[in-house]
Amino acid sequence: MSRMFVPGPVDVDDEVLRAQAQPMVPHRSKEFEALYRRAAEKAQQLFFTQNRVFLSASSGTGFQEAAVRNLADQHILSCVNGAFAERWYEVASTNGKQADRLEFEWDQPVSPAAVTEALKKKTYEAITIVHNETSTGLQNPVREVAEAVRAASPETLICVDAVSSLGGVKIEMDAWGLDMLLTSSQKCLALPPGLALAAVSDRALAKAETVANRGWYFDLVRMEKHRLKDSSAATPAISLIYALDMQLDRILAESLEARFARYEALAQRVQEWVVTHGLSLFAPEGYRSRTVTTVRNDLGLDLSDLNAFLMQRGMRIAGGYGPIKKDTFRIAHMGEIRMSDVEALLAALDEYLKK
């Protein structure tokens, strides 16, 4: 079996792939409603929330758009320290919102103190932050940032992108007081791409009701109306929801805590290998991603040559992303990856370096 150490789409287990081949049912039917309800209820456990979880036939960026269109009339504070945070800022501004950037160096985490300062200077309806920056392999201190927001500006809604971490790292929506927490299917959930999940708080939904021009497809108020009937306004991605239903059973059978521990061990092993092989990590200690390791290419390795070597062994890693594309490469360890897979990859990398 091949192993893709790339940050999505990741390998999908055969059993989960096959779950998609179940016969279609009408989405206005008891069978579909039961499937939708089952999947959405199980998903609440992943989000550590009692809030509703929406399923969308889109990738995660769709819910980035939903957040900015529904949760602010105008004023959004976008924390930017990586490519996907930058995208969220662009999503906000191209949707006509007055988004202000709160910028940090890409190898530095979002600072709660800087967030507090920004919120003292201006009132923001919502703040956006990426939990796990897939470009830089940096995990932002979302819990601490959320605490800072609550203290400085309790009305500001806290929107978190956990596209490349939810399901692999513990993110406690309710305990941390988050208002919208979104993810995509093709990363830690190890599903095919095309489905996005987002949990939304009551107060966020109440705010959405007051916001004009929410659009149609990503209108959270419309989504809620249909979710209450265990369905969606437009035709749902039924095959993907079959896969989600099965994959959530598998994830819960592994147990969330065991899954988080597995990710932690994989991240530690890869990151320890990096620093003992003449390479260095892009993210600073204490803020390193548990799902994807961004490596500074200090050895000047030729990524396409390295990947050609790895692909002969049924593996591949990812290049850098965005402005740090040339200077970095990435080893993802999310989804179905086990320690034996990581050991096989590191052995191949050792062999390559000896060449």
CA 218, CA 298: separation in Å to the nearest integer? Answer: 43
> What token pair was written down for 352?
């390559």
* 3, 4, 5, 8: residue in contact with ligand PLP (rule CB under 6 A): 8
Q: Are 32 and 355 in contact (CB under 8 A)?
A: no
Q: Which amino acid is at 268?
A: Q
| Count of residues touching ligand PLP (by CB under 6 A) | 11
Which strand ranges, in their side-by-side order, compose the sheet holding 52-56? 52-56, 196-200, 180-184, 157-161, 126-130, 75-80, 98-103
3-state helix, strand, coil in the chain (%, to 5): 45, 20, 40
CB of 59 to ligand PLP, least distance (A): 3
Residue 48 or 321: which CB sits closer to ligand PLP? 321
320 binds ligand PLP (CB under 6 A): no
* 44, 59, 93, 98: residue in contact with ligand PLP (rule CB under 6 A): 59
Q: Which amino acid is at 337?
A: I
Residue 130 or 204: which CB sits closer to ligand PLP? 130
**Binding mask of the shown chain, residues 292 to 311, with x at each position contacting ligand PLP by CB under 6 A:** --------------------
Residue 140 or 153: which CB sits closer to ligand PLP? 140
How many CB atoms are located within 10 Å of the residue 57 CB? 17
Residue 20 or 184: which CB sits closer to ligand PLP? 184
Q: Choose the stretch contacting ligand PLP; rule: CB under 6 A; options: 12-20, 33-41, 105-113, 156-164.
A: 156-164
248 binds ligand PLP (CB under 6 A): no
CB of 10 to ligand PLP, least distance (A): 11
66 binds ligand PLP (CB under 6 A): no
CB of 130 to ligand PLP, least distance (A): 5
CB of 181 to ligand PLP, least distance (A): 12
CA 70, CA 48: separation in Å to the nearest integer? Answer: 22
- Listed in sequence order, the residues at least 6 apart from 119 whose beta carbon sits closer than 8 Å to its beta carbon are 77, 127, 148, 149, 152, 153, 156
**Binding mask of the shown chain, residues 183 to 222, with x at each position contacting ligand PLP by CB under 6 A:** -x--------------------------------------
Among the listed residues 91, 61, 70, the one whose alpha carbon sits nearest the alpha carbon of residue 195:
61
100 binds ligand PLP (CB under 6 A): no
168 binds ligand PLP (CB under 6 A): no
CA 238, CA 232: separation in Å to the nearest integer? Answer: 11
> What token pair was written down for 250?
């598998």
* 127, 163, 204, 334: residue in contact with ligand PLP (rule CB under 6 A): 163
Q: Choose the stretch contacting ligand PLP; rule: CB under 6 A; options: 53-61, 119-127, 230-238, 247-255.
A: 53-61
Residue ranges of alpha helices (H) inside the chain are: 14-19, 30-47, 60-71, 83-94, 112-121, 142-152, 173-176, 202-210, 220-227, 238-254, 256-275, 303-311, 339-354
CB of 189 to ligand PLP, least distance (A): 11
Q: Choose the stretch contacting ligand PLP; rule: CB under 6 A; options: 56-64, 173-181, 241-249, 268-276.
A: 56-64
CA 350, CA 331: separation in Å to the nearest integer? Answer: 14
CA 38, CA 172: separation in Å to the nearest integer? Answer: 21
128 binds ligand PLP (CB under 6 A): no
84 binds ligand PLP (CB under 6 A): yes
Among the listed residues 88, 52, 260, 96, the one whose alpha carbon sits nearest the alpha carbon of residue 160:
88
CB of 56 to ligand PLP, least distance (A): 10
Enumerate binding residues for ligand PLP (CB under 6 A). Answer: 8, 59-61, 84, 130, 134, 161, 163-164, 184
